[in-house]
């Protein structure tokens, strides 16, 4: 059996209030649009996650909620995890390993640089990992408990909202 891992960087956040702590920054208007679009794109592609793990940062939680809203009745549960805030690849992998056995497709929403490093370790170096980007990695594991920081997979596709405006819909490998 294979598992599908969706690694998503949170959507664009607002810097308009310099008094806010980094953890408390909300999405800006573009981020709100892009997070919804990401969910719509997953639905169109029939790559709907069975579960969402997200950082506790406001921008990541709001990204998760907007993705779920776009998924409509197919929206999975969202689990917020403090340790995913600015996590390293080992932490992301450790939490992915905790996903329940019934989950075939897991969406993990977090932050750079950890997200980009994790995808590079999992499958492939990506030139840039912009906000609201999603990397889809197929893993040859039977259960999430087999996931480690050394687990390798195949990058199935990489998508981010700006691709739609100038390069087509996504990069497929």
Q: Could you read off the pLDDT of 16-70 as tens digits, one per residue?
A: 999 999 999 999 999 999 999 999 999 999 999 999 999 999 999 999 999 999 9
CATH number at residue 148: 3.40.50.1240
Across 92-120, average pLDDT: 97
| Structural element, H or E, at residue 77 | strand 77-81
Asked if residue 81 has pLDDT above 90, the reply is yes
For the chain, what is the domain count? 1
Q: Examine the pLDDT at 172 and tell me if it is beyond 60.
A: no
> What DSSP element (H or E) covers 126?
none
Among the listed residues 76, 81, 67, the one whose alpha carbon sits nearest the alpha carbon of residue 114:
81
Q: Quote the mean pLDDT of the chain.
A: 93
The whole-model pTM stands at: 0.93
pLDDT confidence of residue 168: 43
pLDDT over threshold 80, residue 169: no
Sheet-wide strand order for 154-159 = 77-81, 51-55, 105-110, 3-9, 134-139, 154-159, 171-172
Beta bridge partners of 51: 77, 106
Three-state DSSP class for residue 97: coil
Please report the pLDDT score of residue 171 as a whole number. Answer: 55
- The boundaries of the domain holding residue 158 are 3-172
Query: In the beta sheet, which residues pair with residue 162?
Result: none
Residue-level pLDDT at 170: 53
Q: How far is CA 111 from CA 48, 56, 57, 82, 172, in A?
A: 21, 11, 9, 12, 23
């Amino acid at each position: 059996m294979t598992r599908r891992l969706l690694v998503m960087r949170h959507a664009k956040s607002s810097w308009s209030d310099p008094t806010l702590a980094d953890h408390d920054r909300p999405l800006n208007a573009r981020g709100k649009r892009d997070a919804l679009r990401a969910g719509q794109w997953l639905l169109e592609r029939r790559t709907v996650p069975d579960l969402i793990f997200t950082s506790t940062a406001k921008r990541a939680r709001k990204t998760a909620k907007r993705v779920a809203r776009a998924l409509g009745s197919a929206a999975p549960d969202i689990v917020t995890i403090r340790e995913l805030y600015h996590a390293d690849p080992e932490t992301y992998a450790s939490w992915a390993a905790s996903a329940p056995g019934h989950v075939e497709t897991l969406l993990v929403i977090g932050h750079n640089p950890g997200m980009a490093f994790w995808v590079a370790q999992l499958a492939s170096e990506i030139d840039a990992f912009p906000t609201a980007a999603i990397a889809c990695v197929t893993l040859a594991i039977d259960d999430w408990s087999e996931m480690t920081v050394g687990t390798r997979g195949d990058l199935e596709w990489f998508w981010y909202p700006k691709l739609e405006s100038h390069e087509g819909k996504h990069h497929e490998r």
